[in-house]
Structure 1
Amino acid sequence: MFKFIKELIESFKEGIEEGKAELKAEEQAEYEAVEGLISKFKEQGNPTLENLFLALSCPFRSVLTLGEPIRLMEFGHLEEKEVESLKKLLKRDFGIKDAADVSNVLEELEDAHDEEDNLARSIFLSGLNLYILTSAVEVGYITFEEIEDFCNEEVSFISSHVDSWQQFGELFMKGECINNAIGRLFLKKNIQLLLKKKTSPWCIFSWESISNVLKTKS
């Protein structure tokens, strides 16, 4: 009887150790993947347009997704459950469930943009537009090519009025107008993380690099 119990205990201990080893291996693999992406983007120098559009939509993207922010710098890195969650949020928050809905919502936001002479509100609306468009690409409603010109306009507007990621974050929160107190708290917390975490697009690419990208595009 005691021998049987002892064998059970030993087997249980072995199972725990194997689980720890597997978890450690997974953590190491994730760490190496993240470090590899950091090296890739730093060697790249300036962001691509894809990197740039996604980086400026990160205040919302970072709240709604899991894992390191570096995953938010390119399309296609979200897990299937995250993509499905994004679809639900687009429908819940903006009534978007297909490409036609994306166009309708953007027309409404553009009208609000035109009527607003408050800089902070305009910066927020530009960031919101970028979030909606990049999310629509992420879930497959539209293509990157379809959003490129519109996103360039929003990025150019932001770049012409803002001098740093810090100022962008501050103006974004000052102009934020769609969330309740709890939602604003989450946004503010994530903006703070984006400003200081080494895996954040805002820490990997300098604000000055935005101008370099826009110059090559024009």
Structure 2
Amino acid sequence: MFKFIKELIESFKEGIEEGKAELKAEEQAEYEAVEGLISKFKEQGKPTLENLSLALSCPFRSVLTSGEPIRLMEFGQLNEKGVKSLRKLLKRDFGIKDATDVSNVLEELEDAHAEEHNLARSVFLSGLNLYVLTSSVDVGYIAFEEIEELCREEISFISSHVDSWQQFGELFMEGECINNTVGRLFLKKNMQLLLKEETSPWCIFSWESISNVLDAES
């Protein structure tokens, strides 16, 4: 009887040690992934227009997509399930099912933007525009080359009226007008994470780098 109990205790201890080892391995793998991600973009020197288009669409992208942090900075990082989910969201929220729908929605958003004289609402609409554009690229409805100029215009507008990622987030939330209270809470929470998590594009790419990229491409 005592031998049996002793074996159980030993087995339990071994299980705990194995669990600790697995957890440590997972933490190490996560740490290495984070360091690798940060190193990649530091070596790159400055963000690309693609990186910035995705970064400025992050208020929605970070909430409505899932996966590795790299998805917030590069196209093609969503798995098949993620692509299907994003297609459903585009259809649900904007009626977008193909490239023609993308064009129609963008025209509506541009009209709303042109009529808007409130800075916060204008910043929000630019961020929303970028979310629609980048999401449509990620699900295969359009190619990034087709909407580069539109992205550049939206990024230029934002950078000419905003001085930091924090101010962008504040103006975005102030101008946000399509979510209910719960949705806004999720957005606000994710905005706070974007401002402090080391794998966030808002922490990896300096706000000043936006102007540098636009100047280099002009």
TM-score for the superposition, normalised by structure 1: 0.89
- 4+ runs of 1 displaced by more than 4 Å? 1-24
Q: Deviations over 1:36-93 (max 9, x none)?
A: 0101112222111111100000000111123554431111222322222111111111
Q: Would the alpha carbon gap of residues 67 and 28 (structure 1) be closer, same or farther in structure 2, given more than 3 Å must change?
A: farther
Note the 1:50-65 alignment, pairs <5 A.
50-65=50-65
Summarize the Cα distance change of 1:61–1:16 in structure 2 as closer, same or farther, 3 Å threshold.
Answer: same
Q: What is the distance in 2 between the residues matched to 1:162 and 1:130?
A: 16
> 1:193 matched to which residue of 2?
193
Uncovered stretches (5+) of structure 1, i.e. residues with no partner: none
Q: 2 CA distance for matches of 1:161 and 1:117?
A: 13
* CA deviation map 1:117-158 (0-9, x unaligned): 111111000000000110111111111101101100100111
Structure 1 residues 117, 4: CA separation in 2 closer, same or farther (over 3 Å shift)?
A: same
Matched with 1:45 is 45
Matched, 1:124 2:113: no
Matched AA of 2:188: K
**1:107 maps onto 2:114 in alignment:** no
Match of 1:93 in 2: 93
Structure 1 letter corresponding to 2:47 = P
Distance in 1 of aligned mates of 2:13 and 2:86 = 40
Give the alignment's Cα RMSD to 1 decimal.
2.2
Aligned match of 2:77: 77
Taking the TM superposition and a 5 Å limit, the aligned residue runs for 1:2-21 are: 21=21
TM-fit CA distance, 1:33: 1.9
CA contact (8 A) 1:195 1:203 kept: yes
Change in Cα spacing, 1:45 to 1:183, as seen in structure 2 (3 Å) is same
Structure 2 counterpart of 1:149: 149
Gap change, CA 1:31 and 1:146, over 3 Å in 2: same
How many residue pairs end up in the alignment? Answer: 218
Distance in structure 1 (CA, Å) of the matches to 2:56 and 2:150 = 14
Asked if the contact 1:34/1:70 (under 8 Å) is kept, the reply is no
Unpaired runs of 5+ residues, structure 2, are none
- Encode CA deviations 1:147-185: one digit per residue, 9 max, x unaligned: 101100100111111111111111101100100000111
**How far apart in 1 are the matches of 2:138 and 2:17?**
39
Deviation at 1:20, TM superposition (A): 5.9
1:51·1:73 contact (CA, 8 Å) conserved in 2?
A: yes
Q: Shift of residue 204 of structure 1? A: 0.9
Which secondary structure state, in structure 1, belongs to the residue aligned with residue 134 of structure 2? helix
